Amino acid sequence: MSSYIIRRLLLVIPTLWAIITINFFVIQIAPGGPVEQALAQMQGLESGIMERFSGGGSELGSDISTDASAAENSSTYRGSRGMDPEVVEAIKVQFGFDKPIHERYFDMLKRYIVFDFGESLFRDGTVIDLIVDRLPVSISLGLWSTLIIYLISIPLGIMKAIHHGSRFDIWTSAMVIVGYAIPGFLFAIMLIIVFASGNYFDWFPLRGLVSSNWDELNAFQKVVDYFWHLALPTLAMVIGGFATLTMLTKNSFLDEINKQYVVTARAKGLDDKTILYKHVFRNAMLIIIAGFPSAFISIFFTGSMLIEVMFSLEGIGLLGFESTIQRDYPVVFSSLYIMTLLGLILSIISDLTYSWVDPRIDFEAR
């Protein structure tokens, strides 16, 4: 098994490199980069200044307009019209765009190898500090959502398999499908309107992971406050996550129950409970347990952005979305790098989980 793990770890390197390379060049050639973002912001500020001074017909407003017209075609950036060429060049140097694209690419690779992600272009602080500050929210949402989904879906799926075709199976299937059909963000809006807006009830907070007086609370009160803030966003995230896992559990158990070794166990006189939990359970749970790492990383990074926005939770999803809109390349590439690396490592952990759940599976022999 050790040689298999080494091979998989070595495979992480070219996979990570290919993903980062493709995304780097695709994003770099897209219009509206950080230089244009900065120029647009400066143009907005200058427009406000010119309106103030040109309103009274002052000579200063006329001078600014004249100087801006002289520099109108000084740069290839669309946002640089009317800007001093020296200012444009200074912004390019500040963001590192005075270098050719291949130099920026190799510089990024060298820094990312040692996990040096640099500083954000539009926020104060390093990229690592920004990500670390946002991690508690994303980890909380991803961890509790995944655990709740597994704790409910697995027993429900087992019961549906045992009572396959019964009224219980039909009604629970209908409820699961209805829950799956409701988008998470729509359910979040319903929860906010009913339980947090004050129109009906005002039981839960609308924003934040903890209360403003967090430091004044004792340990028990902090735990209660933490889960009080997480209740609605977590519920909104898990509402659509039951269907796939529940039906996967049910079908997996049904498939095992109909196999020959179960018929043989019954012929030997074993009761259904012993057959289910001693023989069927481990085989049926193989694919479900092994998929836990990937399920967690999926919810952790992809399922929380809209929920974070709606509940004003400063998490990784919201950070990535805002950075993409602002073209904050260090944050965008660093988030992609970290997510890809975690995803590749968790795929290896999933394979190891297969072997742990069922020792008969040997990836080394393949």
Q: Give kind and range of the element (H or E) at residue 243.
A: helix 242-257
The position carrying tokens 């900065």 is 38
Hey, CA dihedral for 321, 327, 331, 336, is it positive or negative? positive
In-domain check, residue 109:
no
> How many domains does the chain fold into?
2
Segment 167-216, tens digit of pLDDT? 998 999 898 888 888 877 788 888 888 888 767 888 888 877 888 888 88
Q: In percent, how much of the chain has pLDDT > 70?
A: 73
Instruction: Yes or no: say if 307 and 233 are a contact pair by the CB < 8 Å rule.
Output: yes
Other C-beta atoms closer than 10 Å to the C-beta of 226 total 17
If asked whether residues 232 and 319 sit together in one domain, one would say yes
Query: Residue 143 has what pLDDT?
Result: 82
Pair 196, 204: CB distance under 8 Å:
yes
**Same domain as 292, residue 180:** yes
Do 254 and 325 belong together in one domain? Answer: yes
pLDDT tens by residue, 70-121 = 333 444 554 445 555 666 666 666 666 677 888 888 888 888 888 888 888 7
> Do residues 150 and 292 lie in contact, with contact meaning Cβ atoms separated by under 8 Å?
yes
* Residue 114 included in any domain: no
E-strand stretches of the chain: none
Answer whether 86's CB lies under 8 Å from 294's CB. no
Query: 166 and 84 in one domain?
Result: no
If asked whether residues 63 and 140 sit together in one domain, one would say no
> Residue 126: beta bridge partners?
119
Per-residue pLDDT tens over the stretch 254-271: 888 878 888 888 888 887
Which CATH number do you get for residue 258?
A: 1.10.3720.10
Q: Enter the DSSP assignment of 365.
A: G
Q: Is residue 23 part of a domain?
A: yes
Task: Residue 79: name the closest of 36, 29, 31, 34 by CA.
Answer: 36
- pLDDT tens digits for range 321-360: 888 887 788 888 888 888 888 878 877 877 777 777 666 6
Is residue 121 a part of any domain in this protein? no
- Looking at the structure, tell me whether residues 63 and 134 fall in a common domain: no
Cβ contacts of 75 within 8 Å, gap of 6 or more: 83, 85, 88
Tell me phi and psi for residue 126, to 5 degrees. -80, 160
| Domain of 51, in residue numbers | 2-99
